[in-house]
Structure 1
Amino acid sequence: MEILTWTYLLVGISFAIYIGIAIWTRAGSTKEFYVAGGGVSPLANGMATAADWMSAASFISMAGIISFAGYDGSVYLMGWTGGYVLLALLLAPYLRKFGKFTVPDFVGDRYYSKTAKIVAVICALFISFTYVAGQMRGVGIVFSRYLEVPIEWGVVIGMCIVFFYAVLGGMKGITYTQVAQYCVLIFAYMVPAIFISMQLTGNPIPQLGLGGEVSDGTYLLDKLDGVLADLGFAEYTSGRKGVMDIFMITLALMVGTAGLPHVIVRFFTVPKVKDARLSAGYALVFIAILYTTAPAIAAFGIYNAINSTSEKKISELPTWISTWQKTDLIQVEDKNGDGLVQYLPDQEKNELSIDRDIMVLASPEIAELPNWVVGLVAAGAMAAALSTAAGLLLVISTSVSRDLFKTFKPEISEKKELRIARIAAAGAVILAGYFGVNPPGFVAQVVAFAFGLAAASFFPVIIMGIFSDRINKEGAIAGMLTGLVFTLAYIIFFKFISPELNTAEHWWFGVSPEGIGSIGMILNFLVCILVSSFTPAPPPEVQEMVQEIRIPRGAGEASQH
C-alpha cells in the first residue's frame, strides 16, 4: 500500500481507539473530570504520565534539535529527564499527601490566600498556553505531511480531535486514552530506530548502534564528525554554546518539569501516596525507553540525510525531499546554478534548508523503510502531541472553573462547575490552535519557554511551601509575580520586540531566552525569602499543616480521600 493509505489506516485506527475510550470512560462528576476519581492503578498512571509528559517536543522535536545542534542539544535530554526525577522524589509524594486537585489549590491553601491562588492560576494559564502552542504546532506538522493539507488545516483537525475527548472525558477519559497513546507512540518510535540501527551498524539496539561502526569500519559518531567537518559545520560531538547557557537551560528545564501543573496533577489520580511514588517510578522507566533512543535517532537521521542529498544533482534528489517540500518545511534552491545541492553552514550559500522538526518524521522515508513504518510514525507523533495537548487543556479548564470561578462563587453546583470547565476547555482549544498556526519558535523551543515560566513561577513556592513553614503569603505572591514577569519580559523582548539582538553577546550573563527561567527562579526564591522575613509568619495551623505534610508515618492511610 501507499504511504498515504497506511497513514490513513493507522492514524484512523488509533483515533477510533482514543475516541472510543473517551466515550467509555466519560466523566460523570467533577472528581472524575479533575482527577479521574482518584482510583487509577499505579501502572496505568505511570503509562499515562509518560504519555502526558512526552509531548510533541519529545517525540518530534527533541531528536531533531539534537540532529542539528549535536552535543548542544543534549541540554533537553538532561534537563527533562533530571526534572522528572526531581519531581518524583521531591514533590509528587508530598503534594499527593496534601490532597488537593491542582497546584493553585495547593498554593491557595498553603499560603492561606485567595490572592496567592489567583496569581498561581495566572501562572498556570501562561505556562499551559505556551506549552500547548508547541503541541498544536506538532499536530499541524504531522497532518500537513501525511494528510497532505496545509499546516493551518492540520492544526484545526487536531483541535477538533483533542476537543472531543478532552472535553467529554475529562481526566478520567484522558488518563485511559493516554495509556493507549503511550503504547502507540513508544512502538512508533522504537520500530524505525531498530530498523535504521540494523541498516547502519548491524546492531538492533539503537542505544548500542549509536556507538557502533558503519559499513567501512569507522565508528558512526567519528564518521558523522568527519562528514560535517568536511562541509564546514562544527563537529557533531563538539559544543558551541557557553557553559553558563548550557547550565541555565538544563536547570530551567529540570526545575520547570518539577513545576508543570499538567504533570503534577497526574499524582492526584491514584488512591494513596505509596501509589504516587510507584507510578512515578513506572513513568520514569517508560520515559527512559524513548529518551535513551532519541540521541541514536538524531545521529542516524542527520547522517542519512546528508549522505542522501549532499553534492547530488537537484534532478536526482531522493523522493523524500520533494514530498516534504510540499509542506514548505524543506527548501531547495540552486543558488550558484551548478545543478548540485550544496549543504553549507553559510546561509547565503546554503542550498538545502531542512526544518529540524521533521527529522524524526522523515527518518523512515530517508532510510527507505517500508511504507507501513512511515504511517506508524505518523500515528505515534499524533499520539505524543495529542496526549500532552489534552492534559494541558484540562489544566486550563480546571484553572478557570475550579481555581478561578469557584474561588469567587463557592456555592456553585457541581453540574454547573463541570459545564464551565468544558466551556473553558473549548475556549482553550481555539486559542491553542491560533498559537499552533502562529508559533513563536520551533516545537522544542516553544516548550522550553513554558518550562522556563514554570521554573520561574511555580517551583520555588511549591518547594518552599513543602519544606519551609516560615514562607508566608506575601512572600509567595511577590516571588511568583517577580519570577513570571521577569522571565516573560526577557523572552518577549528577545523573541518578539528585538529578535535581531537575540545573540550571545546581548544576553544577560550569556543566558539565552530558553535558559532565563533559571534566573527568574533565583529571583523568585530571593524575593520570596526576603519579603517573608520582613512580614508576619504564617498562622500556627498553617505551620502545623506544613509539618504534617512531611511526616511519612501513616502517609498511606492519611492520604485516602
Structure 2
Amino acid sequence: MSVQVWTYILVAITFLLYIGIAIWSRAGSTRDFYVAGGGVSALANGMATAADWMSAASFISMAGIIAFTGYDGSVYLMGWTGGYVLLALLLAPYLRKFGRFTVPDFIGERYYSRTARIVAVFCALLVSFTYVAGQMRGVGVVFSRFLEVDINTGVVIGMVIVLFYAVLGGMKGITYTQVAQYCVLIFAFMVPAIFISFQMTGQPIPQLGMGSTLTNGSGTFLLDRLDGLSTELGFNAYTDGSRALIDIFAITLALMVGTAGLPHVIVRFFTVKRVRDARKSAGLALLFIAILYTTAPAVAVFAKTNLIRTVSNKEYTALPSWFRNWEQTGLLTFDDKNGDGKVQYVADTATNELTVDRDIMVLANPEIANLPAWVVALVAAGGLAAALSTAAGLLLVISSSISHDLIKKVFKPGITEKQELWAARVSATLAVMVAGYFGIHPPGFVAAVVALAFGMAAASFFPAILLGIFYKKMTRNGAVAGMTAGISLMLFYMFKFKFGLFDGGREAVPDLQDQWWFGISPEGFGSVAMGVNFAVALLVNLFSPEPPEEVQQMVENIRLPGGAPPAEPH
C-alpha cells in the first residue's frame, strides 16, 4: 500500500480512538472538566503529562532545529528538560497541596486580589494562544504532506478533532486521550529512529548509533562525516556552535523557568489524588519524556546526513520521489539559480538553491531513508498525536481561565455549576477558532513560536509562583507590579525584534539582529524580563503592607510536611 493509504488508515484508527475515549470519559461536572475529578493515578498522569509536555515542538520541530543548527540547538534540549526537573521538584507538589483549579486561581487566592487574578488570566491567555499556534501549525504541516491537503485545510481538520474531545471531555477526556497519544507518539518517534540507526551504523539504539561508525566500511564516525559534509558546503562544523554564549545561556534559562511557569503543564498536577501522587507522576513523566529527548539529537544527525547525501549537487531530474512529495507542499523549494540542473545546497545565500523548512525534517526522515510506507505513515500519526495532545491541554487552560477565573471568580460569582460548565465549553469553542487562525498565520516555525510562549511564561508567571510559595510576606502589590512589568517588557521586545512592529514591519526583522539588547534574541529575552519581574516585585513589596496573617499561615501550610491537608478545589 502507498504512504497515503497507510496514513489514512493509521490516522483514522488513532482519531477514532481519541474520540471514543472522549465519549467514554465525558465530563459531567466542573470538577471533571477542570481537574478530571482529582482522581487520576500517578502512572496515567505521568503519561498524560508527558504527552501534554511533548508538543509538536518536541516531536516535529526540535530535531529539525537541531539538524540545522547543530550544537546551538542544544539549548532546546537543556532548557526544556532542565525546566521540567525544576517544575517537578520546586513547584508541582506545593501547587497540588494548595489545591486550586488553575494557575490564575492560585495567584488570585495567594495574593488575595481580583486584580492579580485578572493579570494572571491575561498572561495565561497570551502564553496559551502563542503556544497553541505552534501546535496547529504542526497539524497543518502533517496534513499538507501525508493527506495531500493544503496547510490551512489541515489546521481546520485538527481544530475539529481537538474541539470534539476537549469540549466534550474537558480535563477528564483530555487526560485519558493523552495517555493514548503518548503511546502513539513515542512509538512513532522511536521506530524510524531505530530503523535508521541500524541502517546507517549497525547499532539499533539511536543514542549509541549517533556516536558510532558508519556501516560503509570506512571506519568514519557518523558525527565526523556530518562535520565534513557541513564544512564542505560552507556551513559551520555541525558539532561547533556559532551562537553567542550569552544568548545560549539566556535561551536555556528562559526555556527552563518558562517550563516551570507553563499553566497547561502545572494544571496536570491538580488532577491526582494526593501530593505524593504529584511527586510520583512528575518522576514518571520525566522518564517518559527522556525517551524522546535523548533520541532527538540522534534523529537530527541521521536526517541532516541523509538530506545532504541524497540532495546536494545531485541532478534535479534524478532526485528521489520524497523530494517531489515535499516540494508539492511548498515547504521544500528548489531554485536553479545557475541553470545547471543540479541542486546547490550551500551556506552562501546568494548561490544556495535549496530551501528546507525545518519542521519537515522528522516527518521526511523515514522517506529520505527509504523506510517502508507504514513507518512513514506512523510518523504522521505520531506528529498529529503530539500536536493535538498539547493543543487540547492549552485549550483547557484558555477555557478555564475565562469560565472559572473571570466569569465565576470575578464577574458572576453566583453562577451555577451547570452554567459554568456551559461557559467553559463555549470558551473552548471560541479558543479553538482563535487557535486555528494563529495556526494558519503563525509567526515562525514551530519551535521558535513555542520558545516565545516559554519566554512569556518566564517573564510573567515564574516569579509570582516562586515568591508565592517560598516568601510568605510577598504582597499582592508586588506580585501585580512584577507580572505587569515582566510581560510588558517581553511583549515589547518580541514585537520589536521578532515582528519589526516598531521598525518598518516583519521584513525588517533580519536587519535588527545587531540591535538585540545585550546580544540576546527574542527567544531568550524571557530571562531578562523575568529578572525585571523579580526586581520590580521585590522593590514594590518593600513599600507595601504585609499580607494578612491568614495568607501567611496558608503559605506556611503548603510548604511544611506537617501543615494542613490539601484544600479541595472549589
What is the TM-score normalised by the length of structure 2? 0.97
Partner of 2:104: 104
CA gap of 1:560–1:482, structure 2 versus 1, over 3 A, is closer
CA gap of 1:501–1:438, structure 2 versus 1, over 3 A, is closer
Deviations 1:76-126 (Å, cap 9, x if unpaired)?
A: 000000000000000000000001111111101110001000100000000
**2:34 and 2:170 in contact (8 A); partners too:** yes
Partner of 1:450: 453
| SS of alignment partner, residue 118 of structure 2 | helix
Residue identity opposite 1:106 in structure 2: F
1:152 aligns with 2:152: yes
Partner of 2:225: 223
**2:399 and 2:427 in contact (8 A); partners too:** yes
Q: Give me the whole-angstrom Cα distance separating, in 2, the residues matched to 1:149 and 1:501.
A: 31
Residue identity opposite 1:281 in structure 2: G
Partner of 1:434: 437
Q: Give me the whole-angstrom Cα distance separating, in 1, the residues matched to 2:359 and 2:425.
A: 31
Deviations 1:312-369 (Å, cap 9, x if unpaired)?
A: 1011011111000111000011110111111011122111111000000000000000
1:354 aligns with 2:356: yes
Q: Give me the whole-angstrom Cα distance separating, in 1, the residues matched to 2:8 and 2:375.
A: 13
Partner of 1:239: 241
- 4+ runs deviating over 6 angstroms: none
Partner of 1:484: 487
Partner of 1:212: 212
Residue identity opposite 1:18 in structure 2: Y
Q: Give me the whole-angstrom Cα distance separating, in 1, the residues matched to 2:434 and 2:382.
A: 24
**1:162 and 1:386 in contact (8 A); partners too:** yes
Give the one of 525, 533, 538 matched to 1:524.
533
> What does residue range 25-424 of structure 1 map to in structure 2 within 5 Å?
25-214=25-214, 215=216, 216-407=218-409, 408-424=411-427
**1:50 and 1:182 in contact (8 A); partners too:** yes
| SS of alignment partner, residue 505 of structure 1 | helix
The unaligned stretches of length 5 or more in structure 2 are none
| SS of alignment partner, residue 439 of structure 1 | coil
| SS of alignment partner, residue 87 of structure 1 | helix
Q: Give me the whole-angstrom Cα distance separating, in 2, the residues matched to 1:87 and 1:333.
A: 46
Partner of 1:540: 549
Deviates more, 1:499-508 or 1:178-187: 499-508
Deviations 1:150-173 (Å, cap 9, x if unpaired)?
A: 100000000000100100000000
How far off is 1:413 after superposition? 0.4
| SS of alignment partner, residue 311 of structure 1 | coil
| SS of alignment partner, residue 515 of structure 2 | coil
**2:460 and 2:486 in contact (8 A); partners too:** yes
Residue identity opposite 2:543 in structure 1: F
How far off is 1:554 after superposition? 6.2
**1:184 and 1:380 in contact (8 A); partners too:** yes
Partner of 1:552: 561
Give the one of 443, 466, 471 matched to 1:468.
471
Q: Give me the whole-angstrom Cα distance separating, in 1, the residues matched to 2:473 and 2:219.
A: 62
CA gap of 1:375–1:177, structure 2 versus 1, over 3 A, is same
**1:272 and 1:559 in contact (8 A); partners too:** no
Residue identity opposite 2:161 in structure 1: I
**2:557 and 2:563 in contact (8 A); partners too:** no
**2:96 and 2:566 in contact (8 A); partners too:** no
**1:210 and 1:221 in contact (8 A); partners too:** yes
Q: Give me the whole-angstrom Cα distance separating, in 1, the residues matched to 2:354 and 2:435.
A: 31
| SS of alignment partner, residue 155 of structure 1 | helix
Q: Give me the whole-angstrom Cα distance separating, in 2, the residues matched to 1:181 and 1:157.
A: 17
Deviates more, 1:540-549 or 1:175-184: 540-549
Residue identity opposite 2:544 in structure 1: T
**1:461 and 1:476 in contact (8 A); partners too:** yes
| SS of alignment partner, residue 163 of structure 2 | helix
How far off is 1:501 after superposition? 4.7
Residue identity opposite 1:536 in structure 2: P
1:514 aligns with 2:523: yes
The unaligned stretches of length 5 or more in structure 1 are none
Q: Give me the whole-angstrom Cα distance separating, in 2, the residues matched to 1:326 and 1:27.
A: 42
Residue identity opposite 1:219 in structure 2: F
How far off is 1:558 after superposition? 4.2
Partner of 1:505: 514
What is the TM-score normalised by the length of structure 1? 0.99
Deviations 1:443-483 (Å, cap 9, x if unpaired)?
A: 00000000000000000000000000121000000000100
Q: Give me the whole-angstrom Cα distance separating, in 2, the residues matched to 1:441 and 1:334.
A: 25
Residue identity opposite 1:429 in structure 2: V
**1:186 and 1:290 in contact (8 A); partners too:** yes
Q: Give me the whole-angstrom Cα distance separating, in 2, the residues matched to 1:510 and 1:470.
A: 36
Q: Give me the whole-angstrom Cα distance separating, in 1, the residues matched to 2:89 and 2:493.
A: 31
Residue identity opposite 1:474 in structure 2: N
**1:262 and 1:395 in contact (8 A); partners too:** yes
Residue identity opposite 1:60 in structure 2: I
**Aligned alpha-carbon RMSD (Å):** 1.0
How far off is 1:559 after superposition? 5.5
Q: Give me the whole-angstrom Cα distance separating, in 1, the residues matched to 2:234 and 2:319.
A: 21
Q: Give me the whole-angstrom Cα distance separating, in 2, the residues matched to 1:558 and 1:64.
A: 42
* Identical amino acids, percent of aligned pairs: 69
